[in-house]
Amino acid sequence: MARIIERMAKNGARSWLVKRRIGGGRGGKEDFETCYERQTAEDFATLVELSGENRPHGYPKGCHGIEDPHFDGTLDAEMPTFEKYARHDYATRLGAAPTQRFVYLTEAERHVFPFFGHLPLDRVTRRVLREWAEWMLAKPSARNEHQPTPPMSDEQAARRWARANDIAVKKTGRVPPGVLRQWRDAGSPRPAPSTPGTLSPATAAKVYRGAIKPVFKAAMQQGENGEPPFLSSSPCDGFRLPTGPVTSRAILYGAEVGIYLQAVHDVDPDTGLFIVTEMATGLRWGEIAGLHVSGLDPAGCVIHVTQAYAYLLNETTSRRQWQLRLYPKGKKQRDIPICHELAILLAHHANGKNPGQPLFQRNSGGYIDYANQRNNVLQPALELARQRGLAKHITPHALRHTMITMLRDGGVARGVMQLIAGHESYQTTAGYSGRHTPAQRALVLNSVHPVIKAAEILFNNPRIDHE
């Protein structure tokens, strides 16, 4: 039987969750729908019960209890709708892990089904895809009209004003009374409300590649028992998504490496060693967090990458949570060489730990919590590094980009770079050759120096002494 649970957000907004088990069975998976009016929730719960504890037709996931105005019950029953066929396709993609199939479904329920999930497969044209892309780029990226941004308190406004006026104030905690008085004397200014952002072209491309394009490719193939394909052509053929601005990767160069590492070490020495390991090996964050003591070979100066700590689907609860995955990304184990000095540091850090324990642990034991490390160590360290002259926004994954770029600048062969990075595709590794670094710039300028030297004679160009 469907249940209605009333909820209240921190900003006081109310919502009602209609919760039930699919089919009414005790062991069935749970399904949810959030409604923003009590009467809407009660009406939707009644429809669910009349449908045998199943989602009623015309009420797709994310409808908020309101019938889809595009639903048409008179459509050809032999041609499945995009939503019906896509759900089947996601569930039967045997090459994808359960977590990835869950991501496909979640993204489709949020960004695809509400727009053209009701259409039969053969009615989804390139025009529909183009209109979907335009709709995606206009969608708000975060809070919607049902969950407005909570009002800013006086302390929050005073802290924002103080930081804008170079008045010393802590990032969190209570604002000193003196700062509050200065803020009130200045007229109690409050920042203008921020304009809600929209989804980026990269998000639209990600959803298109994972949740839309493969569905039409599958619809053009025969069924498992030889059934004829549903489609003879795909609307994705000849379709191009709108392009977005090209952004360069944030990479540390030269003295920037020392500034960032020193800032992290000053905030937390253990995390400092974690970051040094990440930058010196190019391992992904989850591969270091999931590294056990047994994976470290200090005598051979090697790290054996056999598993990863990842945000995976718990198939029992149908929710994602951090857990150990018994293979790294790409399902290929690899060995990463480390220098003798790093091997000594890691061996000392592993002293006293059992082989089956994580090499890097929380203070209370167990695997590192990503959110805690980011919020309590890495973000304060980045603020400290900015105060010391670093002008870049550095994330944990940017350290991996830094290491792979160092390999390229050092002349390491691309095939070796691919093995170290654990890239499944050679094209991913080749992408690091798409832009020049200071080291590459020096090589380029030194290579063309004979041209400039000859030009000095031709044009009587005065020499410029470089420091």
The DSSP-derived string for 430-462 is HGGGSS--HHHHHHHHHHTHHHHHHHHHHHTPP
Instruction: Yes or no: say if 218 and 120 are a contact pair by the CB < 8 Å rule.
Output: no
pLDDT at 38: 92
Strand partners, 302: 297, 337
Instruction: Yes or no: say if 313 and 319 are a contact pair by the CB < 8 Å rule.
Output: yes
What does each C-alpha distance from 368 to 49, 310, 324, 359, 379 come to in angstroms?
44, 11, 11, 10, 16
pLDDT at 464: 44
pLDDT at 458: 53
pLDDT at 466: 44
Q: How many residues are recorded in the chain?
A: 467
Task: Give the C-alpha separation, 262 to 384, whole Å.
Answer: 9
Q: pLDDT tens string for the chain (467 positions)?
A: 788 999 988 778 889 999 988 777 776 778 889 999 999 999 999 998 888 788 887 787 778 888 877 665 555 457 899 999 999 999 988 878 889 999 999 999 999 999 999 999 999 999 999 999 999 998 887 655 455 566 788 888 898 898 888 888 877 778 888 989 999 999 988 887 666 678 889 899 999 999 999 999 999 998 777 778 899 899 999 899 988 776 677 888 888 888 999 999 999 988 999 998 888 888 889 999 999 999 999 998 889 999 999 999 888 888 889 999 998 887 888 888 888 888 899 999 999 999 999 999 988 888 999 989 998 999 999 999 999 999 888 888 888 888 877 777 777 766 666 667 776 665 565 555 545 556 655 655 565 456 446 545 555 545 544 44
What does each C-alpha distance from 320 to 12, 98, 150, 265, 311 come to in angstroms?
27, 11, 27, 31, 6
Question: Tokens 């030194």 — which residue?
Answer: 446
Instruction: Yes or no: say if 196 and 141 are a contact pair by the CB < 8 Å rule.
Output: yes
Pairing of strands 334-337, 302-305: antiparallel
- All domains of the chain in start order, with CATH: 1-69 (no CATH), 76-147+197-247 (1.10.150.130), 264-423 (1.10.443.10)
Task: Give the C-alpha separation, 73 to 324, whole Å.
Answer: 45
**Please, what is the Cα angle at 277 between 272 and 280, to 5 degrees?**
120
Instruction: Yes or no: say if 310 and 286 are a contact pair by the CB < 8 Å rule.
Output: yes
Q: What is the pTM of this model?
A: 0.66
Evaluated on CA atoms 51, 54, 59, 65, the torsion sign reads: positive
Nearest to 108 by CA among 91, 86, 140, 137: 86
